[in-house]
Each structure stands twice: as structure tokens, then as C-alpha cells.
């Protein structure tokens, strides 16, 4: 979820001081994951030629820090887009939202591991600076800890990405701990969880009543305590997302959450104005490319039909 689209998102209320308290999560399993991460990053740094700056090397999970300059994330699914985004972001998420954005599915549920690996490998090949995280799709990790490990290990091995992301709260904490203890960096995802859209009854903003707020807060504490290196908070009311950010020891990445999260992420098609059927409340479009593309294609079609293209300069002749 990667991050997903919503048919409608209820307006979030104004930022308020939250009274929701988040229990401190246990850090069991985090030491082994962090030591593994440190070894990987140390090896990557030592392998760099002399004089290569930190800014030019591939970012690792340790570069997503809490309380510093906000972390910038975007989704990427293809090589050309990854190449364009790479110099400007801290991390690229190959989200299972690819199923909706690229394949036209109505949800993320039909996405397969093979699809995620294909797109993850493309993004890795076409980027050199950003941390790359790949979503674990629905049904590829929920059955057991062992299934989750096999899926995550395959994704890391076949794409070269640095980490995987999975959705789930307290019920997935044991799985997150199992993965991090075995050297697999995990980005968590709480709040609105699109892979659970059927059970949740749709894409609904989370935390609007005290029971929901306490559940999301407990989920965040559990996943952070299990060793996740960061945490996506999606579709959650601002006071709850803010309180979670203040309480957990790992960076939080917001999407429809709070400006006080440690970073933000959006679907790239929403940022560029390529998706025009609707615009989620939490999206700010930084371009409107859809009409530009439509106009360019219209001009191309007119040129072909009028035999204005191709011209002599586009044709090959004899030597």
C-alpha cells in the first residue's frame, strides 16, 4: 500500500492537541534487525570509492530519521518514473497500489508477488540514490511468519530493494519481529489498511471515535515495538496521527494523517494530475499532466491523419 486511492475520504478535522496516549512498544527483536541494517550500510559505505559523498550513495533504512527534516516519499512503479523521482526523494515505495494505478483493478487485492517483484526490480534498476521499499501483497504474508519470511526474502533477493512493507497492527507484530530478527527490514503500515478493505467495509478514515483511536495507537506501538524501522500512518484523523508520531520511537510517514508526521508519501499519479476521476482530500496536485497528454495525443493523431507525420526528416533513405 502501498498507498491507495479512495472513492471518497471524509474531511479530516483541524489539528488539535490529542489526548490519546500510545503505549510504549517492546523493542524485542529490534537490536538484531538494527545490527543487520548497520552491517549492510557499513559495507555499502565502505564499498564506495574515496570522495563519494553520502548524498550520492544509495540511501539505507537508517537514513530515515525521526524528528529531522521531513522524509519525502513517493510511489514508483516503472523505470522512467523512478529515474525522474530518484534525485528528489528520500525513498521510493513500490506499492501494491500498482494494481489500481497501472493495472486498473478496483482494489489492491489481485496484486501478486510476481507483479511486485517485476515492478520493484524495474524501480531498482532505474534509481541510484533513493531507498527502495517494496510492498508485500495481500495473501503473501498473513498466513504465517514462515510464509512472510519466504515472501520477503524472495522480494529482497530478486529486486535488490532494501526493505519490505506490510500492513497490519498488533496481530502482525509477531510476524514483524520474526522478520526483523532474521535480518529483513520492515516498514509497518497502520490506520486505514487497503488490503483489509472488505473487512473494514470500505475505505474509511480511522480514529474518529475513542475505540478506533485506541486501536490504531495500540497497533502503532506494537509494530514499532516489534522492530519496524518506520511506520506508515494512512487515513487517520490528525490528532491521533500526531499523538502516534510523538509516542513511537521510529519515523512515521503520513498519507492522509498529520503534517507533524516525520515524513509524507503520496501516489505519484495523484501528484502529477494523471488520475482525473477524483482527487482525494489529502492530495495536493503539483502538476496537471492529464490535459497535456491528451492535447499531445490529439495533435499526433491529427498529424498522422493529415499525412503531416512522418515527414522526410523522420524517414531513412539510401546511402
* Segment 29-42, tens digit of pLDDT: 444 444 444 444 44
DSSP 193-210: -GGGHHHHTSS--B-SSH
* pLDDT-based confidence at residue 204 (cuts at 50, 70, 90): confident
Q: Which helix (H) or strand (E) holds 93?
A: strand 91-94
* pLDDT-based confidence at residue 184 (cuts at 50, 70, 90): very high
* pLDDT-based confidence at residue 202 (cuts at 50, 70, 90): low
Within a domain: residue 7?
Answer: no
Contacts for 289 with CB less than 8 Å, ≥ 6 apart: 272, 273, 274
Q: How many CA atoms lie within 13 A of 127 on its CB side?
A: 35
Q: Is 181 a catalytic residue?
A: no
Q: How many CA atoms lie within 13 A of 47 on its CB side?
A: 8
Within a domain: residue 228?
Answer: yes
- Where would I find the H helices in the chain? 30-46, 79-85, 98-101, 113-125, 145-159, 173-181, 197-200, 210-225, 238-247, 268-271, 289-305
The domain total for the chain is: 1
Within a domain: residue 8?
Answer: no
Residue 192 C-alpha cell reads as: 486505514
Within a domain: residue 249?
Answer: yes
Q: Is the pTM higher than 0.85?
A: no
Within a domain: residue 204?
Answer: yes
At 215-272, the pLDDT tens digits run 999 999 999 999 999 999 999 999 999 999 999 999 999 999 999 999 999 999 999 9
Looking at every residue in the chain, the average pLDDT score rounds to 86
Which entry of 181, 234, 238, 288 is annotated as an active-site residue?
Answer: 234
Within a domain: residue 1?
Answer: no
The answer, yes or no, to whether residue 163 has pLDDT greater than 70, is yes
CATH assignment of the domain containing 131:
3.20.20.60
Residue with more model confidence, 198 or 221: 221
Residue 25 C-alpha cell reads as: 512498544
Within a domain: residue 5?
Answer: no
Range of the domain at 272: 30-314
Using a pLDDT cut of 90, give the percent of the chain over it: 74
Within a domain: residue 303?
Answer: yes
Amino acid at each position: 500500500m502501498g498507498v491507495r486511492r479512495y472513492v471518497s475520504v471524509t474531511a479530516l478535522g483541524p489539528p488539535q492537541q490529542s489526548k490519546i496516549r500510545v503505549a510504549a512498544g517492546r523493542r524485542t527483536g529490534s537490536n538484531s534487525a538494527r545490527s543487520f541494517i548497520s552491517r549492510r550500510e557499513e559495507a555499502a559505505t565502505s564499498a564506495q570509492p574515496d570522495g563519494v559523498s553520502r548524498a550520492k550513495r544509495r540511501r539505507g533504512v537508517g537514513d530515515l530519521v525521526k524528528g529531522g527534516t521531513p522524509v519525502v516519499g513517493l510511489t514508483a512503479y516503472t523505470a522512467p518514473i523512478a529515474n525522474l523521482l530518484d534525485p528528489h526523494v528520500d525513498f521510493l515505495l513500490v506499492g501494491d497500489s500498482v494494481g489500481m494505478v497501472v493495472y486498473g483493478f478496483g482494489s489492491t487485492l489481485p496484486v501478486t508477488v510476481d507483479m511486485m517483484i517485476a515492478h520493484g526490480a524495474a524501480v531498482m534498476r532505474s534509481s541510484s540514490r533513493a531507498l527502495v521499499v517494496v510492498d508485500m501483497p495481500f495473501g503473501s504474508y498473513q498466513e504465517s511468519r514462515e510464509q512472510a519470511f519466504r515472501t520477503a526474502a524472495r522480494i529482497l533477493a530478486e529486486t535488490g530493494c532494501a526493505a519490505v512493507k506490510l500492513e497490519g497492527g498488533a496481530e502482525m507484530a509477531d510476524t514483524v519481529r520474526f522478520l526483523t530478527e532474521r535480518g529483513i527490514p520492515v516498514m509497518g503500515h497502520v490506520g486505514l489498511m487497503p488490503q483489509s478493505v472488505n473487512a473494514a467495509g470500505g475505505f474509511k478514515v480511522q480514529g474518529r471515535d475513542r475505540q478506533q483511536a485506541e486501536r490504531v495507537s495500540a497497533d502503532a506501538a506494537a509494530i514499532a515495538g516489534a522492530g519496524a524501522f518506520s511506520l506508515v500512518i494512512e487515513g487517520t484523523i490528525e490528532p491521533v496521527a500526531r499523538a502516534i508520531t510523538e509516542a513511537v520511537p521510529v519515523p512515521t510517514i503520513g498519507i492522509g494523517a498529520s503534517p507533524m508526521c516525520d515524513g509524507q508519501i503520496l501516489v505519484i499519479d495523484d501528484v502529477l494530475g494523471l488520475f482525473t476521476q477524483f482527487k482525494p482530500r489529502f492530495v495536493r496536485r503539483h502538476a496537471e499532466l492529464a490535459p497535456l497528454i491528451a492535447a499531445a495525443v490529439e495533435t499526433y493523431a491529427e498529424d498522422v491523419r493529415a499525412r503531416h507525420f512522418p515527414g522526410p526528416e523522420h524517414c531513412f533513405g539510401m546511402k
